[in-house]
Amino acid sequence: MALVPRIPILPENMNLVNAQTFPIRKATPAMAETADRQSRLLRTQSDPNILNRLSMTVSPPSGTTAKLSKPPKVHVKVQHKRSVRNRLQRRRKSHANHLKSPSLYILQYESYPYAVEEAKILGIFTDINKASLAATTCGAFAFSREGLNDGMEYLTPTGRIRIVMQEAPILPLRRHPTAPEDLGFASTAMDKIIALRNFTQPSIRSRPERREREQRVYLAMHRAPEATMCIGLFADKAKAWYAALKQYGIVSWEAEVQEEMRWMDETSLPHIKAKIAGSGRHFWSVEVFKINEVVRRIHLEEPVAPALTTVRDV
C-alpha cells in the first residue's frame, strides 16, 4: 500500500494571496562582526585553557622583556641652514677680556723690627716671575711662614720682601712728542697745518723716547708709622697726585691734622707731610718707576747690597 502524503488543510478564512510575507534581511559587516564576537565568547567560556593562551600572547612572562613592534624614534635636531645674510655677518668678540686690565707686581721691603720704619719700594714688575727673581737678587733666601702659602713674601738677612699685586693703569693713547698739547686750539690756520704735519709724520729719533715714556708708571703712596700703603698706579702724574690728595682728604676729615707741609722735589714730584693727632706723622707722595727695574732705595748692611742691580727682560 503506497503512502500518500498528507496535504495540510488551511483554514477557510486564510487566503494564500492575501497572506503576509516577511522579507529576509541581508547580512551586514557589523552583524558578522557581532556574531564572530559572540562565538569567541562562547568558546572561551567553554574552554578555560584559551584564557591562559591569550594571556601569554598579550603580556610576556616575568624576567623577560617585551619585543617592540616598532623601533624607538630618535629625535635629531635639524640644523637649519644659515641664510646668506647671517653667514656674511661678522661675529663680534665680547669686550670683557679687553676691559680687564692686567696687573703689576710691586716689590716692597720692610726691615726688622716690623712697623717701626716705613717700607721701601724696590721696583715694579709686569710678571710674578720677574718680581720673584728680583727679590732673590735683593737678598731673599727663603719664603716666610705666610709666603709658603701664596709665594708672595720672602725673608732677607735684615727684613722681609713682599710682592704686592696692583691693577695696572690704562696707558693713554700714543701721541707724537713734537705734536703740541693744544692741537685743537691752535691760534692760526698755519699753526694747525704745521701741527698736523708733525703729528702725521713722526720721526724715527722719537721712538726710543716714546718707548721710555710708556715704560714709566706713577705710584701714589701713603706712608704711615705702622705701614706703607700703595694707593694706586697711574700712567699720568696728575691722576696719581689727585689720588694721593683724595686719600689725604679722607684722613684729614676723620682726624685732626697738624703741621702740614707741601713741597716739590728735584724731579717735580709732589709730597705732603702732616702730623695726625694720635697717629704720628704721615706722608703722601707720588713716585715714578720704570717697569721691570730694581731701584736703589735701601742700603743693607749685609754683603747682599751689591746685588741690587737692574733687572731687565728677565
The string of DSSP letters for 212-223 reads HHHTEEEEEEEE
Pairing of strands 120-125, 270-276: unpaired
Q: Per residue of the chain (314 residues), what is the pLDDT tens digit? A: 555 555 555 555 555 545 455 555 566 777 778 878 777 776 666 665 655 555 555 455 555 565 666 767 766 666 666 565 555 555 555 544 444 557 889 898 988 888 777 788 898 898 889 999 999 888 888 999 888 888 889 999 889 999 988 776 654 434 444 444 443 333 444 444 444 444 344 444 455 555 555 678 899 989 888 778 888 888 889 999 999 999 998 988 888 888 899 999 888 899 999 999 888 899 999 999 888 888 754 555 444 333 334 333 33
Distances (CA, A) of 15 to 10, 21, 145, 266: 9, 12, 134, 153
For the whole prediction, is pTM greater than 0.75? no
* Per-residue pLDDT tens digits for 125-165: 988 899 999 998 888 889 998 888 888 899 998 899 999 88
CA-CA-CA-CA dihedral for 247, 250, 256, 262, to nearest 10: 30
163 - beta bridge partners? 107
